[in-house]
């Protein structure tokens, strides 16, 4: 089993840096093959290839409009296949976790389990620091992810599956 | 009654913008405006920061093309230090820039524009996106993902981080390239070269399906501007500016980029946060010019790598003089992808790329510095002034997308006049207007120094500019319409 943790957002916009903060403090649990931790500004299409070999992907992002510091977790599932419904969301350079999963499924026949953890921000003004209430919630998220990884490791569920060959076409 | 159409938000580009089309009584398009509706102001909030912070700070201007800002900022800081950086450092920066160009062009072509080209401008908008491409041509979609991934991996191997690498610093780069990383990169480049070459073959076969678009998508005379090497070859990192007219005649040759203010000036219009650069000698708005892949391939004498040179020769056969249609930005982008893969291979095979002297160190030695590089979308200029303590007192960024602002506006008008009939508006008409903008692959995060995603709206106005009809898309991509 391979786990990939992806924290994303803009670390220059206060609490939008939730994903970077969490990923940065989880860097020590990453190893060569079985646990990968990434921090990025935004989700982009090639991440579908990155997550394709994984069994579990944990996305970490900030949200707004709720109580500051509120932690929410949800399961992310790909949308119905394009042939049946299509995609109505306007597409730009950035993508949602669902769209990354859609591409992983459509192009690489990969369907990793995925979780989205969000922490509601309080301030998105310019600055590199999280507000105290958000930082406390992030520390809680970090602890929970650590515990999850430790549990998977102790159950020997995390191991290196080896690199899956996903570009073996002419 | 004369009316106005507004396309808001414009989709499949980076940033927020809208388009307004003015219609006559009979429904003919009489005028068009491309509005950039976001504002950020990096030039202001970098004031007071030490110059050493500028590369990493400026890289945050954009999550799409941070490397370009990193490089232009580093070059401006090199000028403030008044140092000539080690040749190996310059080549490492050059490779970083080419990797950025390759992955950025891949996103533009495969992810944002190939749905129009593969599925058709009038195809169902629900499927006219990367997911539709994945269904109809999965191998093309996988190629797009893969070549972009290779570009990102090269950036990561060189810079340590994909989005905001801090490896490029004033005076050079912070660490030399290891043999292991060089070999890893070299092992990936043949695949990138092959993807670029086969995509070019597919695109050239598809061109005949788009003869109407290629003749009416921003097809008008302008000047073309970009950097060239000392022999007139394609150059993205260094070199001097060359300006050509629409016939391909040299107007300025080996123009020192630090004197850009003698060449161009910037106008502002009340309807957009994006500035309107123009050529000073020709005035505003007659001094319209284009930058980016099409401009670069129009001004050069050669690319400088074998595959790209062959493709470039074929490309130039499409038209005598400069190739004027903005539709051919796509074609030029693909040739540059091939060039980037080939050029990186050349540079990495030179043993001096592993030299360990990669940084010149100095204190500030000049009050003012200009750094110019070719970003994926065109010429990028960073210009800083510092005080005696090395803190920034003034900054000016002239962004690739901004250079093309006048041309995008004129192109929108041309496409709208050709395809939009105000009495019977259809989605495919509006998509062509958007597709013209996509040819330029505008990065409005950079152009206004703001971040976002670009959705599109079309609005009808009466002669007094009252909105009487509006078509847009909601957050789910559903078309919305409101009339008064």
Average pLDDT for runs of 10 along chain B of length 484? 61 61 79 68 82 84 78 96 97 97 93 85 78 87 94 89 70 95 98 98 91 86 97 97 96 97 91 87 95 97 98 90 90 98 98 97 95 95 94 90 90 85 69 83 55 48 62 55 58
Tell me the chain B residues in contact with residue A48 when contact means C-beta distances shorter than 8 Å.
145
Mutant choice from A53, A107, A164 vs B, greatest count of B C-beta within 10 A? A107
* SS3 of chain B: CCEEEEEEEEEEEECCEEEEEEECCCCCEEEEEEEECCCCCHHHHCCCCEHHHHHHHHHHHCCCCHHHHHHHHHHHHHHHHCCCCCHHHHHHHHHHHHHHHHHHHHHHHHHHHHHHHHHCCCCCCCCCCHHHHHHHCHHHHHHHHHHHHHHHHHHHHHHCCCCCCCCEECCEECCCCCHHHHHHHHHHHHHHHHHHHHHHHHHHHHHHHHHHHHHHCCCCCCEEEEEECCCCEECCCCCEEEEECCCCCEEEEEECHHHHHHHEEEECCCCCCCCEEEECCCCCCCCCEECCHHHHHHHCCECCCHHHHHHHHHHHCCCCCCCCCHHHHHHHHHHHHHHHHHHHHHHHHCHHHHCCCCECCCCCCCCEEEEEEEECCEEEEEEEEECCCCEEEEEEEECHHHHCHHHHHHHHHHHHHHHCCCCCCCHHHHHHHHHHHHHCCCEHHHHCCCCCEEEEEEEEECCCCCEEEEEEECCCCCEEEEEC
* Chains A–B, number of C-beta pairs less than 8 Å apart: 116
Which pLDDT tens digit goes with each residue over A105-133? Answer: 989 999 999 999 999 999 988 788 999 99
Q: Count the Cβ atoms, other than its own, within 10 Å of residue B318.
A: 12
CB contact under 8 A, B455 and A90: yes
Tell me the chain A residues in contact with residue B451 when contact means C-beta distances shorter than 8 Å.
10
Tell me the chain A residues in contact with residue B480 when contact means C-beta distances shorter than 8 Å.
none
Whether A80 and chain B come into contact, CB under 8 Å, resolves to: no
Per-residue confidence (pLDDT) for residue B85, from 0 to 100: 97
Mutant choice from B123, B128, B131 vs A, greatest count of A C-beta within 10 A? B131
CB contact under 8 A, A10 and B478: no
Q: For strand B453-461 and strand B3-14, is the pairing parallel, antiparallel, or unpaired?
A: antiparallel
Question: What span, in angstroms and rounded, lies between the C-alpha atoms of B270 and B265?
Answer: 17
Query: Are the C-beta atoms of B207 and B198 separated by less than 8 Å?
Result: no
Closest residue, chain A, to B10 (C-alpha)? A90
Whether B152 and chain A come into contact, CB under 8 Å, resolves to: yes
CB contact under 8 A, A93 and B132: no
Residue closest to B96 by CA, chosen among B451, B375, B484: B375
Whether B64 and chain A come into contact, CB under 8 Å, resolves to: yes
Beta-bridge partners for B23: B3, B29
Whether B124 and chain A come into contact, CB under 8 Å, resolves to: yes
Tell me the chain A residues in contact with residue B134 when contact means C-beta distances shorter than 8 Å.
82, 103, 106-107
Residue closest to A22 by CA, chosen among A67, A94, A55, A71: A71
Both structure tokens of B466: 């009252």
Per-residue confidence (pLDDT) for residue B218, from 0 to 100: 87
pTM for the structure as a whole:
0.85
> Which residues of chain A fall below pLDDT 70?
32, 80-94, 157-170
CB within 8 Å of chain A, chain B residues 339-378: none
Question: What span, in angstroms and rounded, lies between the C-alpha atoms of A65 and B319?
Answer: 54
Whether B112 and chain A come into contact, CB under 8 Å, resolves to: yes
Question: What span, in angstroms and rounded, lies between the C-alpha atoms of B257 and A146?
Answer: 51
Query: Are the C-beta atoms of B258 and B241 separated by less than 8 Å?
Result: no
Interface confidence (ipTM) of the complex? 0.75
Tell me the chain A residues in contact with residue B142 when contact means C-beta distances shorter than 8 Å.
107-108, 167, 169
CB within 8 Å of chain B, chain A residues 142-161: none
Give the distance from residue A46's alpha carbon to the nearest chain B alpha carbon, in angstroms. 5
Give the distance from residue A52's alpha carbon to the nearest chain B alpha carbon, in angstroms. 12
CB contact under 8 A, B126 and A42: no
Mutant choice from A7, A82, A85, A93 vs B, greatest count of B C-beta within 10 A? A93
CB contact under 8 A, A90 and B145: no
Mutant choice from B40, B66, B142 vs A, greatest count of A C-beta within 10 A? B142
Whether A50 and chain B come into contact, CB under 8 Å, resolves to: yes
Give the distance from residue A154's alpha carbon to the nearest chain B alpha carbon, in angstroms. 31
Residue among B64, B66, B473 whose CB faces A90 most closely: B473
Both structure tokens of B349: 């095979």
What is the residue whose two structure tokens read 């207007």? Answer: B433
Question: What span, in angstroms and rounded, lies between the C-alpha atoms of B377 and B289?
Answer: 13
CB contact under 8 A, A106 and B134: yes
Residue closest to A106 by CA, chosen among A139, A143, A72, A81: A81
Query: Are the C-beta atoms of B430 and B471 separated by less than 8 Å?
Result: yes
CB contact under 8 A, A41 and B164: yes
Closest residue, chain B, to A94 (C-alpha)? B453
Residue among B135, B145, B451 whose CB faces A46 most closely: B145
Question: What span, in angstroms and rounded, lies between the C-alpha atoms of B14 and A164?
Answer: 32
Give the distance from residue B84's alpha carbon to the nearest chain A alpha carbon, in angstroms. 31
Could you give the angle at the alpha carbon of B193 between the alpha carbons of B188 and B194, nearest 5°?
Answer: 100
Tell me the chain B residues in contact with residue A102 when contact means C-beta distances shorter than 8 Å.
131
Residue among B148, B161, B451 whose CB faces A10 most closely: B451
Per-residue confidence (pLDDT) for residue B46, from 0 to 100: 85
CB contact under 8 A, A94 and B453: yes
Give the distance from residue B161's alpha carbon to the nearest chain A alpha carbon, in angstroms. 9
């Amino acid at each position: 089993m391979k786990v990939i943790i992806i924290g994303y957002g803009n670390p220059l916009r206060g609490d939008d840096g939730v994903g970077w903060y969490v990923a940065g403090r989880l860097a020590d649990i990453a190893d060569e093959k079985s646990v990968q931790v990434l921090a990025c500004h935004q989700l982009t299409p090639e991440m579908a290839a990155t997550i394709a070999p994984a069994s579990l992907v944990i996305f970490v992002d900030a949200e707004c409009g709720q109580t500051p510091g509120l932690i929410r977790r949800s399961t992310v599932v790909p949308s119905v296949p394009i042939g049946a419904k299509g995609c109505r969301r306007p597409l730009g350079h950035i993508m949602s976790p669902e769209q990354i999963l859609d591409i992983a499924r459509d192009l690489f026949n990969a369907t990793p389990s995925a979780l989205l953890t969000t922490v509601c921000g309080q301030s998105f003004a310019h600055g590199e620091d999280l507000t105290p209430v958000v930082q406390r919630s992030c520390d809680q998220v970090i602890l929970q992810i650590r515990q999850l990884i430790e549990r998977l490791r102790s159950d020997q569920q995390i191991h290196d599956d080896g690199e899956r060959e996903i570009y073996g076409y002419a | 009654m004369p009316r106005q159409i507004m396309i808001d938000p414009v989709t499949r580009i980076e940033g927020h913008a809208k388009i307004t089309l003015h219609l006559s009584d009979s429904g003919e398009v009489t005028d068009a405006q491309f509005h950039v509706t976001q504002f950020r102001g990096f030039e202001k909030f970098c004031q007071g920061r030490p110059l050493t912070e500028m590369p990493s700070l400026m890289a945050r201007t954009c999550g799409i093309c941070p490397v370009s800002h990193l490089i232009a900022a580093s070059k401006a800081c090199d000028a403030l230090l008044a140092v000539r950086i080690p040749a190996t450092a310059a080549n490492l920066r050059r490779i970083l820039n080419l990797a950025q160009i390759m992955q950025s062009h891949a996103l533009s072509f495969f992810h944002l524009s190939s749905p129009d080209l593969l599925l058709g401008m009038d195809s169902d908008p629900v499927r006219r996106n990367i997911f539709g491409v994945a269904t109809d041509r999965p191998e093309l979609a996988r190629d797009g993902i893969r070549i972009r991934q290779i570009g990102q991996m090269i950036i990561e191997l060189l810079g340590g981080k994909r989005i905001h690498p801090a490896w490029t610093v004033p005076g050079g780069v912070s660490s030399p390239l290891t043999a292991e990383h060089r070999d890893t990169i070299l092992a990936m480049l043949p695949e990138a070269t092959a993807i670029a070459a086969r995509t070019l073959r597919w695109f050239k076969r598809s061109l005949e399906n788009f003869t109407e678009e290629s003749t009416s998508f921003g097809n008008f005379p302008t000047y073309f501007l970009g950097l060239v090497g000392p022999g007139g070859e394609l150059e993205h990192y260094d070199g001097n500016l060359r300006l050509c007219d629409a016939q391909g005649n040299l107007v300025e040759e080996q123009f020192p980029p630090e004197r850009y203010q003698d060449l161009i000036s910037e106008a502002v219009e009340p309807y957009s946060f994006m500035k309107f650069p123009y050529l000073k000698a020709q005035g505003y708005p007659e001094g319209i010019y284009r930058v980016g892949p099409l401009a670069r391939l129009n001004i050069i004498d050669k690319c400088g790598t074998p595959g790209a040179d062959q493709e470039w020769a074929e490309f130039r056969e499409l038209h005598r003089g400069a190739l004027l249609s903005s539709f051919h930005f796509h074609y030029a982008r693909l040739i540059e992808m091939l060039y980037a893969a080939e050029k990186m291979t050349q540079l990495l095979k030179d043993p001096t790329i592993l030299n360990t002297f990669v940084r010149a160190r100095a204190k500030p030695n000049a009050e003012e510095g200009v750094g110019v590089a070719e970003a994926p979308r065109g010429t990028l200029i960073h210009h800083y002034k510092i005080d005696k303590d090395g803190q920034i007192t003034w900054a000016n960024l002239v962004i690739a997308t901004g250079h093309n602002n006048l041309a995008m506006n004129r192109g929108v008008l041309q496409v709208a006049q050709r395809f939009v009939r105000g009495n019977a508006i259809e989605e495919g008409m509006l998509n062509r207007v958007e597709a013209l903008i996509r040819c330029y692959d505008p990065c409005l995060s950079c152009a206004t120094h703001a971040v976002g995603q670009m959705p599109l709206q079309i609005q009808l106005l009466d002669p007094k500019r009252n909105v009487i009809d509006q078509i847009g898309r909601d957050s789910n991509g559903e078309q919305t319409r409101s009339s008064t």
